[in-house]
Structure 1
Amino acid sequence: MSAPCALLTWALLALFGLGLGVPGEDLPCSCCPIVPRREWKAPASKCVDKLKLPARYVVVSHTAGSPCDSPALCLNQVQNVHNYHTGMLNWCDVGYNFLIGEDGLVYEGRGWDTKGDHTGKIWNPISIGISFMGNYMERSPPPRALRAAQSLLACGVAQGKLSPRYEVKGHRDVQRTLSPGDQLYEIIQTWPHYHE
């Protein structure tokens, strides 16, 4: 399957699987489609450190870069984040376990099992790092991106990757940073698993 066809397939699965654009729908599906690394042309990971699962914590951040609102733009943006993390920061892979696009899709970073590089030495080994692609100081992510993140968390619990009693933290709760941005931070504080 060609890359454009694969992206279109993922977009359609997200639209129909998540019910994106359906007014009044608040409940995320369990285990919505996750765009795998091969679909965004990620090189093989050089990371070897594993997470102890099920993870107890989820740290939510933002990339503070450009947003993306279509599968083609998000594919490009996740590649940019990967290139920055591996080329400039010399990390073994993209730092996050998962990235969320404004297209309503979840992009696999290091995945559930591999320790990320998103929040420092204390939190990386004990948490899943989820980053929304964009800057959310002045604006909020669209509802479909928020639903995708919540669906991912439900999926993590369903698959035994996240503890049913997991805690969501904002990046700024565990490090000195403006991430995940004022607007996104305000939103995640309303999530049922949020703990400062």
Structure 2
Amino acid sequence: MELFFKVFVLFATLVAVKGDCDVVSKKQWDGLNPVHVEYLARPVDLVIIQHTVTRTCNTDAACAEIVRNIQENHMDNLNYWDIGSSFVIGGNGKVYEGAGWLHVGAHTYGYNRRSYGITFIGNYNNDTPTQASLDALKALLRCGVERGHLTANYHIVGHRQLIATQSPGRRLYNEIRRWPNWLEDVSSLKN
């Protein structure tokens, strides 16, 4: 029994330190708690990739500051319950918790209750995504499947395929179009 307790404590410590799927928690990036939550029916089969159209970031401090600014804008100016994205990825290769795996986000009108919105920090009409940020997305998606948040046959689409926007920017859009889970024809998704 004592061994079981020690293993449990070790596991709980690792989860608390590493977070779910190696995601930087809201507590770690000093985010605000949501004012309300709606739970997402899982597993989800749609991932929508976006960009922030802000400056890029390559350090933990700079990325966390941008994520905080986005959350404040979403909550204070747009009256969202929380930051709109499910996750935000920095050029430093870290994934920041937004609405997360469990809660409905506010990232793509008409698709929020059936998808995850993953947003890259930067303007990818001009910037090129870092390999670290692309690797972080791939690791997040793998973990999402392993943990039952995403279906094994999930689809990736660009934000621009669903609404009138340039997001996720030409360069990021061109990258994700080569990925195996890419969905070119979104007519089956349209509301």
Report the Cα offset of residue 47 of structure 1: 2.9
Paired with 1:185 and 1:47, the residues of 2 have a C-alpha distance of: 32
- Deviations 1:170-191 (Å, cap 9, x if unpaired)? 0001111000000000001011
Match of 1:112 in 2: 101
Match of 2:74 in 1: 85
1:112-131 to structure 2, matched below 5 A, reads: 112-120=101-109, 122-131=110-119
> Residue type matched to 2:22 in 1?
P
> Residue type matched to 1:191 in 2?
W
Report the TM-score when normalising by structure 2: 0.84
Q: Structure 1 pair 32/159, CA: closer, same or farther in 2 (3 Å)?
A: closer
CA contact (8 A) 1:99 1:108 kept: yes
Report the Cα offset of residue 139 of structure 1: 2.4
Q: 1:150 pairs with 124, 132, 138, which one? A: 138
> Residue type matched to 1:142 in 2?
T
Q: 2:34 pairs with 41, 45, 68, which one? A: 45
Q: 1:33 pairs with 14, 17, 22, which one? A: 22
Cα RMSD for the two superposed structures: 1.4
Report the Cα offset of residue 50 of structure 1: 1.3
CA contact (8 A) 2:21 2:144 kept: no
Paired with 1:46 and 1:164, the residues of 2 have a C-alpha distance of: 32
1:137 equivalent in alignment to 2:125: yes
Match of 1:56 in 2: 45
Q: Which runs of 5+ in 1 are unaligned?
A: 1-12, 15-30
Structure exhibiting the larger radius of gyration computed from Cα positions? 2
1:185 equivalent in alignment to 2:173: yes
Match of 1:164 in 2: 152
Q: List 4+ stretches of structure 1 deviating above 4 A.
A: none
Report the Cα offset of residue 34 of structure 1: 0.9
Q: What is the number of equivalent residue pairs in this alignment?
A: 167
- Deviations 1:101-157 (Å, cap 9, x if unpaired)? 00000000011010010000x211000010001110022111000000110000100
Paired with 1:150 and 1:41, the residues of 2 have a C-alpha distance of: 25
CA contact (8 A) 2:45 2:153 kept: yes
Report the Cα offset of residue 32 of structure 1: 4.9
Task: Among all aligned residue pairs of Structure 1 and Structure 2, give the percentage whose two residues are the same amino acid.
Answer: 38
1:173 equivalent in alignment to 2:158: no
Q: Which runs of 5+ in 2 are unaligned?
A: 1-16, 185-191
Report the TM-score when normalising by structure 1: 0.82
